[in-house]
Chain A
């Protein structure tokens, strides 16, 4: 008996070789896919936060355009409108916008006109709404009509709908991109499983003829590729998290861009990535391996 080899200390070796030359390429591809998936997830979270912030801001106030009646001056009409709105339910504050500020709002469209004051510019009243129970356009109109003020209420509902639609679009695009990346990862693993089975056909045949069940053989490949994908997921998620930390530190609260504010909590989106990658790989390897083993028979 061998002096070096001691059967009492023998431990069964894995049926499949632990390392293959093509493993590195597979880890790289899956890691890149996981990196992109994590960036997508963080981007979607940031976009959600941005949309929620903009909606909240627009929901918090309304603008009233006041037209003077009879011999009333525009400033007097605006003051009367502000007074009427101040007492309305769901309004925290209403104030007439100073004419100079109203002109400033028009200047970008009209240019540097010297006699802007001569134009019949309507006066504006800025209404700050109650955060918990904001007044709607109907209630504001009723308050204005009760004081016989000729005015138009803009509660920003058109903008809010647009922003909500844009937010939904970003969300669904994010989900679509995420699913595409997951499908690509699954296809890559399925391809790798197919190549692995072809390269290790000898192992499959020997195990098969020694009485191993199809599920037993498939599980060898499932375990192998799930482990590889889990490792790749860890690398991809780590890289995405590192980029997120860098962006958060470099960009402050603005994170990715001012339009996509990234919070520290968004980095948690990368946590499920290794598990999901392993899961996708496991399913792809199992399905592929079972189909190929059946074909071999």
Chain B
């Protein structure tokens, strides 16, 4: 994969994520972690090769099929991409609205999820008034609210403290238990080490599957409800 006429960002990648698996992808800055996620969430096309998602080749899929595929993917973007003119609640509910759900069917779920990520008191706040960590948690809430089949997160714990990082990780684990495939791009070696999950190392545009590290003793579970 390359941008415009630039050099290849990713080369000769070939790997698969089993449904319901949980992986980290890590590597030095500029290794192509975000580009890899972009290929999966259909924001970029490979210059060569194929990307299979849910048993379908997305590179040859018609444009009309892509919205349906995208609705099955939850993404936590590195730059968060929150909509500043919408409240935290509206931002979190956005994927459900696009999926055509009725507000009465999901408003309580959204409220519960926002409470769980620590934004219960800021549901009507505008993103510009939220602190960095709050914005990050809101972006995560938006990514998981629709219970996606696959969750992609680009540095999801970059702006949160350790306790919130653990809480967010547990949310991902909970979603994974419910069947969601999770792929997290991160530099947070501590989080990777504690997770005991397999890691994909990305270097010089190539990926290598690494054995899962030895898991550390689990962190004490933070208080608060877990979304059902």
A residues within 8 Å of B by Cβ? 1-2, 4-5, 7-8, 10-13, 15, 17, 202-203, 205-214, 216, 294, 297
Contact = CB atoms under 8 A, between A and B. Distances in A.
Given A211-B70, A211-B95, A212-B67, A1 B41 contact: no
A7 B112 CA distance: 10
Interface in B46-72: 63-64, 67-72
A162 to B, nearest CB: 59
B121 to A, nearest CB: 5
B93 interface: yes
B86 A13 contact: yes
Interface of B: 41-43, 63-64, 67-72, 75, 81, 83, 85-87, 89-90, 93-95, 97-99, 103, 107-108, 110-111, 115, 120-124
A5 B98 contact: no
B124 A2 contact: yes
- Tell me the dominant secondary structure on chain A's binding face: loop
B83 A202 contact: yes
B70 A206 contact: no
A12 B98 contact: no
B110 A7 contact: yes
A203 B89 contact: no
Which of B85, B87, B108, B115 gathers most chain A CB within 10 Å? Answer: B85
A7 B98 contact: no
Contacts of A2: 120-124
Nearest to A18: B85
B79 to A, nearest CB: 10
B89 A209 contact: no
B122 A211 contact: no
Which of A2, A4, A11, A216 gathers most chain B CB within 10 Å? Answer: A2
Contact of B71 (A5, A10, A211): A211
A211 B75 contact: no
By Cβ-Cβ distance, the 8 closest A-B pairs, closest first, are: A211-B71, A5-B124, A211-B70, A7-B111, A17-B85, A7-B107, A5-B123, A213-B67
A7 B83 contact: no
A175 to B, nearest CB: 39
Contacts of B81: 202, 205-206, 209
A86 to B, nearest CB: 81
B50 to A, nearest CB: 18
B123 A211 contact: no
Nearest to B91: A206
A8 B107 contact: yes
Nearest to A1: B120
Contacts of B63: 214, 294, 297
Contact of B111 (A1, A12, A208): A1
A49 to B, nearest CB: 51
A105 B73 CA distance: 91
7 contacts: A5-B89, A5-B124, A10-B89, A12-B90, A202-B83, A208-B70, A211-B70
A212 B64 CA distance: 11
Contacts of B111: 1, 7
A92 B98 CA distance: 77
A264 B122 CA distance: 59
Given A7-B107, A7-B111, A12-B103, 15 more contacts: A1-B121, A1-B123, A5-B89, A5-B124, A7-B108, A7-B110, A12-B93, A17-B85, A209-B41, A209-B75, A211-B71, A211-B72, A212-B67, A212-B98, A297-B63
A214 B83 CA distance: 18
A1 to B, nearest CB: 5
A122 B89 CA distance: 95
